[in-house]
A and B are shown apart, each in its own frame.
Chain A
């Protein structure tokens, strides 16, 4: 999603009304229920959320100059900065060491990278197809990417071929390097 993303792709920037900010927060909590205890820490009540509308209907939401989450359609997707702050709240998969290099250059994740000994997938029932997952790596503490499952985790285990996760956002992509002054 953020393969190419520059300043020119930004259409408008505006502050979010506090009422909408409240709805946003509840929406975020609905999506990731475990965020609830820390949501006020992430987005303090007094803070000003800024919405940045970009090309392809992408909207970034920033608090204190840091992009915390974004959405393209209805779903809110956390940015890596937000994930790093509180990684426990999101569905997670883990890739093996050999895959890190490719993920960091933005490749989709192939099934074998998710099923090999160094990788981890959740036990059954696992996650549905099309759900957003954060991607962790073997022996690393922090997440390195965020993606969308192209097949359910059970399918990944059984089929074990082809693309498993479509990458949305990874370390070092233009969104990661993006900064609002």
Chain B
């Protein structure tokens, strides 16, 4: 007796036989084919070309289960799953569009005399953990760094000290890692004002 190794889908995190229920089936299949080809053939059959043609839930449903719930209910299930899939795809597209259209804003603000803070906003769209980022910045630049709400009630990372360029470079590399190189990163450099900015934190 020994433990079983279970493969989990890299796209939807389920065991691969449940991929059809997530609505991400297409991407799941691509992933599985690349990473575990033998499992792929087991689940979806070996005839690749044909599979490409009929790349929808219905075909998979037939392969996966000689089901016992009756033709009618099976058809309904397939239809529902197909609907789910299209819905999911639309959502993903919307999210991607949102990601592409939004931008990261890095702002340098003057505090008293020769002191500056750098505020980064617009990160929440890109699924970046702000708290963790604040921690890394704090140790990277050896300064205070925290997450706080800005004027528009959005979260932003505030770094004490004049580190605009370094932050910009780091954010670029971070986004590149996430595969989103085309995201706009805007830097705003507010000139030193006579009285300190209204920002309290």
* Cβ B67 vs Cβ A138 within 8 A: yes
* Cβ A98 vs Cβ B22 within 8 A: no
Please give the distance in Å from B57's CB to the nearest CB on chain A. 11
* Cβ B18 vs Cβ A140 within 8 A: yes
Please give the distance in Å from B17's CB to the nearest CB on chain A. 5
* Cβ A98 vs Cβ B77 within 8 A: yes
Q: Is A13 an interface residue when CB atoms closer than 8 A count as contact?
A: no
The chain B residue with its CB closest to the CB of A37 is B1
- Interface of chain A residues 62 through 108 with chain B (CB within 8 A): 84-87, 96-98, 100-101, 104
* Cβ B18 vs Cβ A171 within 8 A: yes
* Cβ A38 vs Cβ B15 within 8 A: no
What mask results when residues 97 to 139 of chain A are scored 1 for a CB within 8 Å of chain B, else 0? 1101100100000000000111000000000000000000011
The chain A residue with its CB closest to the CB of B4 is A85
Please give the distance in Å from B149's CB to the nearest CB on chain A. 17
Q: Is B28 an interface residue when CB atoms closer than 8 A count as contact?
A: no
Q: Is A144 an interface residue when CB atoms closer than 8 A count as contact?
A: yes
* Cβ A101 vs Cβ B3 within 8 A: no
Q: Is A56 an interface residue when CB atoms closer than 8 A count as contact?
A: no
Scoring B13, B64, B68, B81 by chain A CB atoms within 10 A of each residue's CB, the highest score goes to B68
Q: Is B47 an interface residue when CB atoms closer than 8 A count as contact?
A: no
Could you say which residues of chain A place their CB within 8 Å of the CB of B66? 139
Scoring A117, A141, A177 by chain B CB atoms within 10 A of each residue's CB, the highest score goes to A141
* Cβ A118 vs Cβ B69 within 8 A: yes
* Cβ A172 vs Cβ B14 within 8 A: yes
Interface size class of A (residues with CB under 8 A): 20 to 34
Q: Is B87 an interface residue when CB atoms closer than 8 A count as contact?
A: no
Give the distance in Å from the alpha carbon of A42 to the alpha carbon of B1 in the complex.
12
* Cβ A142 vs Cβ B68 within 8 A: no
Please give the distance in Å from B15's CB to the nearest CB on chain A. 4
- Interface of chain A residues 138 through 152 with chain B (CB within 8 A): 138-142, 144
* Cβ A98 vs Cβ B73 within 8 A: yes
Give the distance in Å from the alpha carbon of A101 to the alpha carbon of B15 in the complex.
15
Q: Which of B12, B15, B21, B65 contacts A142 (CB 8 A)?
A: B15
The chain B residue with its CB closest to the CB of A117 is B68
The chain B residue with its CB closest to the CB of A105 is B21
Q: Is B38 an interface residue when CB atoms closer than 8 A count as contact?
A: no
Q: Is B74 an interface residue when CB atoms closer than 8 A count as contact?
A: yes
Could you say which residues of chain A place their CB within 8 Å of the CB of B68? 96-97, 116-118, 138
Q: Is B80 an interface residue when CB atoms closer than 8 A count as contact?
A: yes
Could you say which residues of chain A place their CB within 8 Å of the CB of B74? 97-98
* Cβ B2 vs Cβ A38 within 8 A: yes
Q: Is B6 an interface residue when CB atoms closer than 8 A count as contact?
A: yes
Residues of B in contact with A (beta carbons under 8 Å apart):
1-6, 12-15, 17-18, 21-22, 64-69, 73-74, 77, 80-81
Residues of A in contact with B (beta carbons under 8 Å apart):
37-38, 41-42, 84-87, 96-98, 100-101, 104, 116-118, 138-142, 144, 171-172, 176-177
- Return 11 A-B CB contacts under 8 Å, by A number: A37-B1, A85-B6, A96-B68, A96-B69, A97-B74, A116-B69, A118-B67, A139-B65, A144-B18, A171-B18, A172-B13
